[in-house]
Amino acid sequence: MRFLTLSLAAAATALLLGAEAAPCDTAKCQFPACVCPSVKPPKGLDPTTVPQFVTLTFDDAIQSQTVPVTSSLMTPHRNPNGCPIKSTWFAQTMYSDFSLIQQWYAAGNEVADHTMTHVGTPPAGKLLLIIPMHAIMDDSNPPKAYSMDVHLSGTPEAVSGWLRNNFNRHYQGTRQPFGIFLHPVHVGNATNLYNEFFSWAVAQKDVWFVTNHQLLEWIKNPVPASELAKQPYMKCGLPAVGKEICNGLDNLKTGGKINEKLLQTCNFPSGPWSTCYGCPKTPPTPADPVPERVDAVGTANYRTPVNLTCAMEWWDPVAAQCLCTSSNCTFTDISVLPTTTSGGVKPTTSTKPNNNNSANVMTGSWSAIGAAAAAAAAIAMQMF
Ligand SMILES: *[C@@H]1O[C@H](CO)[C@@H](O)[C@H](O)[C@H]1NC(C)=O
Ligand SMILES: *[C@@H]1O[C@H](CO)[C@@H](O)[C@H](O)[C@H]1NC(C)=O
Ligand SMILES: *[C@@H]1O[C@H](CO)[C@@H](O)[C@H](O)[C@H]1NC(C)=O
Ligand SMILES: *[C@@H]1O[C@H](CO)[C@@H](O)[C@H](O)[C@H]1NC(C)=O
């Protein structure tokens, strides 16, 4: 369960029942900070020219058991500009390894707030944003909708068909972003099922797997698919730090373990985890999210938290030094363009779409996302 599942399930049900979405005040909701819900792309763009965004997201703890699952689903695929596909992780701190959270973020992915302890009902006033979790429809009549871990709801053959049919409804329709929402612990033997679908999807023209943050950047400044590759937020560059620092990256490209000799290991009853930024005396909790460090300021092993004037990947917490000022940051482009020059393949429908069912079913809204743009941001987590 993710932070917003309850409200989103309610919203999805409302859509299925044909209920009206909450009215949007066009006087208050002004572009680009806010966009009223619409099934059409923003700014009147022709759907055939806009990118088909795919938002693959993961939920819960970022730990040594879950990271390999996400790697096996992401590493094989690249976006049209040759950059690795990106994803948003709705993470909790409980059971997470903080150094792995940092590595996920350093690789250009997004860390989103799933509450620290995975509470079912966040405190009032905390439910600020809604990222639509439109459902994947099966092919029954009337269709049943699944929001998360869709592979658990049918045979591999059936689920593959649903994924392709639902994707096609978006891709051949008004290109509303298409979401795949997974709990890594539940992926199990479905890795191949998803990898086959992802390979099929990214092979089609103008299909991009993005973080929610990247999607919001696009909604604030919508450009045709032909111009997406050159947007700064879609590029992938490895900071050319030039020496090994504890920043979640393989700075010297050794192909070895990241930060291996620089991490500090913190032993707690719930299990050990590592960090670049000094072990706290007690595990962080909502009541005390930033506990005192074991090694105090001025002592030998003290790690200095990221300086607010420095980007995390350039910060050396051992030397308390920012290795780059905006004037001299250099990046190594890590994009790998495919060797073929194919402009993509035409989408195919693997099973006959049931038009009767799909007629009244919204494929998600272009800009329930936009409405959330002002509030949404990758949270700046206090890193340990
Ligand atoms: C995973 O294994 C279960 C049990 O053997 C099987 O029923 C299911 O079809 C498999 N799923 C996939 C996607 O291979
Ligand atoms: C950030 O770090 C630099 C040294 O790299 C230091 O001069 C500066 O005062 C620090 N700024 C803050 C806000 O701590
Ligand atoms: C950027 O400039 C600073 C200060 O001159 C220097 O310490 C640092 O090594 C430089 N970094 C890069 C990546 O060139
Ligand atoms: C469409 O679905 C409705 C309700 O399930 C059914 O009554 C109707 O006959 C179907 N129409 C077609 C053309 O299949």
What is residue 37's predicted lDDT score, i.e. its pLDDT?
82
Residue with tokens 């300021």: 297
The response to whether residue 160 sits with its C-beta less than 6 Å from ligand 1 reads no
Global pTM exceeds 0.85: no
Residue 218 has pLDDT above 70, yes or no: yes
Nearest CA to ligand 1 atom 10: 189
What is residue 129's predicted lDDT score, i.e. its pLDDT?
52
How do residues 119-163 score in pLDDT, each as one tens digit? 776 666 554 455 556 679 999 999 999 989 999 999 999 999 999
Residue with tokens 């006959």: 352
Domains and CATH numbers, the chain: 2-9+34-134+158-234+365-383 (3.20.20), 237-333 (no CATH)
For the CA of 243, the nearest ligand:
3
Where would I find the beta strands (DSSP E) of 11-134? 52-59, 88-91, 110-113
Q: Which residues line ligand 3 (CB under 6 A)?
A: 240, 323-325, 328, 330
309 CA from centroid of ligand 2 (Å): 7
**Cα 84 to Cα 236: distance, rounded to the nearest angstrom:** 8
189 CA from centroid of ligand 1 (Å): 6
Ligand 1 closest atom vs CA 159: 13
What is residue 161's predicted lDDT score, i.e. its pLDDT?
97
Residue 367 has pLDDT above 60, yes or no: no
User: Is the model more confident about 262 or about 115?
Assistant: 262
Contacts of 98 (CB under 8 A, 6+ apart): 273, 274, 275, 277, 383, 384
The response to whether residue 322 sits with its C-beta less than 6 Å from ligand 2 reads yes
Contacts of 317 (CB under 8 A, 6+ apart): 245, 246, 276, 277, 278, 303, 304, 305, 306
Residue 362 has pLDDT above 90, yes or no: no
Task: Tell me the best of 356, 357, 358, 361 to mutate to test the pocket of ligand 4, counting ligand atoms within 8 Å of each CB and taking the most.
Answer: 356
The response to whether residue 356 sits with its C-beta less than 6 Å from ligand 4 reads yes
Q: Are 75 and 84 in contact (CB under 8 A)?
A: yes
Ligand 1 closest atom vs CA 151: 13
For the CA of 320, the nearest ligand:
2
How do residues 166-213 score in pLDDT, each as one tens digit? 999 999 999 999 999 999 999 999 999 999 999 999 999 999 999 999
354 CA from centroid of ligand 1 (Å): 26
DSSP secondary-structure letter at 100? Answer: H
**Cα 207 to Cα 12: distance, rounded to the nearest angstrom:** 24
How do residues 294-351 score in pLDDT, each as one tens digit? 999 999 999 999 988 999 999 999 999 999 977 889 999 999 986 654 444 443 333 3
How do residues 22-75 score in pLDDT, each as one tens digit? 688 889 988 888 888 888 998 899 999 999 999 999 999 999 999 999 999 999
Residue with tokens 């009902």: 121
The response to whether residue 355 sits with its C-beta less than 6 Å from ligand 4 reads no
Nearest CA to ligand 2 atom 5: 321
319 CA from centroid of ligand 3 (Å): 14
The response to whether residue 190 sits with its C-beta less than 6 Å from ligand 1 reads yes
Residue 368 has pLDDT above 60, yes or no: no
Compute the Cα dihedral for 75, 76, 80, 81 and give only its sign. Answer: positive
Residue 17 has pLDDT above 70, yes or no: no
How do residues 221-277 score in pLDDT, each as one tens digit? 999 999 999 999 999 999 999 889 999 999 988 776 788 789 999 999 888 999 999
Select from 82, 114, 109 the least CA-distant residue to 208.
82
Task: Tell me the best of 245, 303, 307 to mutate to test the pocket of ligand 2, counting ligand atoms within 8 Å of each CB and taking the most.
Answer: 307
For the CA of 194, the nearest ligand:
1
Where would I find the beta strands (DSSP E) of 117-219? 136-137, 145-146, 178-182, 207-209
Residue with tokens 């706290």: 280
What is residue 122's predicted lDDT score, i.e. its pLDDT?
62
* Bridge-based pairing state of the strands 331-333 and 237-239: antiparallel
